[in-house]
């Protein structure tokens, strides 16, 4: 069954390049990103895994633990890791789950048979500290993901989790944010003194970061 926003991210235990991993225990109280790759030793995936590894300081800054998944064995993953480091200059520094029997891929509905009957699509699940799914993305095999965008949405998710705000189109940290409509003007004035009213339903305030 499809996983929807607000659902508890299904827990699983599986082998990975970092040894056996149980998702919920591994994430602990951190944020998490589980993302799938169609197959080992494929070109787009190689660039993606290097790109995610290179962003480790950014994930750490946001308390995000990233977990990759590919429907091949741990032995294949370890062999492929050498290529990833060679090509991208960044060694794998997060667990890559082995899912040769597609148990996790099935649990997370990562195989879309009308796209490909055996390989996973490029799924992303952002998981909050409460283990609920906060954001999903689905890309086809031939389109590599933009991980800077993933950092941006994590920034938005964390901001909107901490404050009664939403983020507008193309928001990046430091830009003004939107006060959620459920807050009355009186409440808004208390929380965000000096906020601006563009329309009664569109009130902005400086980024509260």
Distance CA 162, CA 137 (A): 23
Does the protein bind ligand BEZ through residue 138 (CB under 6 A)?
no
For residue 126, the minimal CB distance to ligand BEZ (Å) is: 21
**Residue from 3, 81, 85, 141 in contact with ligand BEZ (CB under 6 A):** 141
Q: Minimal CA–CA distance to 150: which of 44, 39, 31, 46?
A: 31
Tell me which residue has tokens 């928001």.
171
Confirm whether 45 is a catalytic residue: yes
Does the protein bind ligand BEZ through residue 142 (CB under 6 A)?
yes
Does the protein bind ligand BEZ through residue 176 (CB under 6 A)?
no
Strand partners, 138: 123
For residue 105, the minimal CB distance to ligand BEZ (Å) is: 14
Distances from the Cα of 122 to the Cα of 36, 65, 145, angstroms: 5, 18, 8
> Active-site residue among 34, 45, 105, 127?
45
Distance CA 138, CA 122 (A): 6
**Burial group, residue 13, by CB count within 10 angstroms (0-12, 13-18, 19+):** middle
x/- track of binding to ligand BEZ for residues 32-61 (CB under 6 A): ------xx--xxxx----------------
The nearer residue to ligand BEZ, 36 or 205, going by C-beta atoms, is 36
The nearer residue to ligand BEZ, 81 or 183, going by C-beta atoms, is 81
For residue 139, the minimal CB distance to ligand BEZ (Å) is: 11
Chain centroid, CA 119 distance in Å: 20
The nearer residue to ligand BEZ, 2 or 142, going by C-beta atoms, is 142
Question: Are residues 39 and 76 in contact, defined by beta-carbon separation less than 8 angstroms?
Answer: no
- Active-site positions read 45
Summarize as ranges the residues that interact with ligand BEZ (CB under 6 A).
38-39, 42-45, 141-142
């Amino acid at each position: 069954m499809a996983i929807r926003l607000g659902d508890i991210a299904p827990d699983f235990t599986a082998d990975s390049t970092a040894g056996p991993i149980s998702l919920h225990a591994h994430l602990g109280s951190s944020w998490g990103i589980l993302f799938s790759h169609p197959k080992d030793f494929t070109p787009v995936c190689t660039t993606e895994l290097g790109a995610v590894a290179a962003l480790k300081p950014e994930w750490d800054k946001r308390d995000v633990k990233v977990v990759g998944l590919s429907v091949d064995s741990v032995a294949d993953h370890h062999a492929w890791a050498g290529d990833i480091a060679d090509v991208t200059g960044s060694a794998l520094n997060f667990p890559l789950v082995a899912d040769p029997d597609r148990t996790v891929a099935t649990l997370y509905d990562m195989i879309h048979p009308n796209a490909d009957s055996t390989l996973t699509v490029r799924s992303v699940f952002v998981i909050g500290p409460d283990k609920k799914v906060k954001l999903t993305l689905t890309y086809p095999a031939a389109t590599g993901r933009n991980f800077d965008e993933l950092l941006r949405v994590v920034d938005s998710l964390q901001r909107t989790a901490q404050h009664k705000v939403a983020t507008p189109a193309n928001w990046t940290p430091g830009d003004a944010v939107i006060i959620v409509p459920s807050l009355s003007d009186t409440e808004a004035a208390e929380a965000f003194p000096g906020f601006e009213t563009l329309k009664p339903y569109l009130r902005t305030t400086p980024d509260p970061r």
